[in-house]
């Protein structure tokens, strides 16, 4: 009697599939950062150098891809919070995390959009990572407050509100001065410090009147995030 040998799929194919998936996610992260959520899976396939069918086999629709991309981004945020908490200087732990989040929000168009637009529709993975970040941010604040370098009354929720303020300024000024958000990040950090702590230097000048007018024109011409 002849027996048919049943074998598992070749390992190389599984590895290829995993590599393709990582290429797709990496390409989507770049596109979301540059162009926001108004991209297509065809755009992702082109950037990743794979066929459109390969993208659709991994992700049934753009929402699934958004979840995968921003799940990774949020995990990066959680890692940054952990690193900030481990910083030997409590104040610079605050600065490190605040600057990381502000920079990511100000320079990554898609991330700021998804945080605002998809938060109420977050999957369980988003919730897990979000809940992981909150206790660490609370601990960062508590450590800085205990060290006497964080102003009294500052709560972790204040950080998220301040980050969105910086992001709003970054969006407004991006067409004329993409770096000016750093000035307002420094202003906010100076406001968070206890009186005994040296203030952060304002190394980026404010927008000029001309830049403000140009930025306003950009918004009225459809330059606002969608």
Q: How many separate domains does the chain show?
A: 2
Residue 38 belongs to domain with CATH number: 1.10.10.60
Is 1 strand, coil or helix?
Answer: coil
Residues 99 and 160 in one domain: yes
**Cβ atoms within 10 Å of 211's Cβ, excluding its own:** 15
Residue 2 inside a domain? The answer is no
**Residue spans of the chain under pLDDT 70:** 1-14, 112-126, 129, 222-226
- CA 96, 101, 106: angle at the middle one, nearest 5? 125
Range of the domain at 41: 10-60
168-207, pLDDT tens digit by residue? 899 899 889 999 999 999 999 999 998 777 777 878 888 8
What percentage of residues in the chain have a pLDDT greater than 70? 84
Tokens coding 140: 């960062």
The angle formed by the CA atoms of residues 36, 208 and 104, to the nearest 5 degrees, is 30
One domain, residues 101 and 149: yes
Q: Which residue has the tokens 């067409």?
A: 175
For position 4, what pLDDT does the model report? Answer: 41
One domain for residues 70 and 138: yes
State the CATH number of the domain containing residue 170. 1.10.357.10
């Amino acid at each position: 009697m002849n027996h048919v040998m049943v074998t598992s799929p070749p390992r190389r194919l599984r590895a290829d599939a995993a590599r393709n998936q990582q290429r797709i996610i990496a390409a989507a992260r770049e596109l979301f950062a540059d162009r926001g959520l108004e991209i297509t899976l065809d755009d992702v396939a082109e950037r990743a150098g794979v066929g459109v069918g390969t993208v659709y086999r991994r992700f049934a629709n753009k929402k699934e891809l958004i979840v995968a991309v921003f799940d990774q981004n949020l995990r990066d945020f959680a890692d940054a919070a952990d690193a900030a908490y481990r910083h030997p200087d409590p104040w610079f732990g605050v600065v490190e995390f605040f600057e990381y989040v502000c920079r990511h929000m100000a320079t990554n168009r898609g991330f700021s959009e998804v945080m605002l637009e998809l938060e109420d529709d977050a999957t369980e993975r988003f919730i897990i990572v979000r809940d992981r970040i909150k206790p660490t941010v609370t601990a960062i604040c508590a450590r800085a407050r205990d060290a006497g370098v964080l102003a009294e009354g500052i709560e972790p929720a204040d950080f998220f509100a301040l980050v969105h303020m910086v992001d709003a300024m970054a969006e407004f000024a991006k067409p004329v001065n993409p770096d000016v958000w750093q000035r307002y990040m420094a202003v906010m950090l100076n406001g968070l410090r206890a009186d005994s702590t040296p203030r952060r230097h304002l190394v980026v000048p404010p927008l000029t009147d001309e830049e403000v007018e140009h930025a306003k024109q950009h918004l009225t011409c459809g330059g606002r995030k969608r």
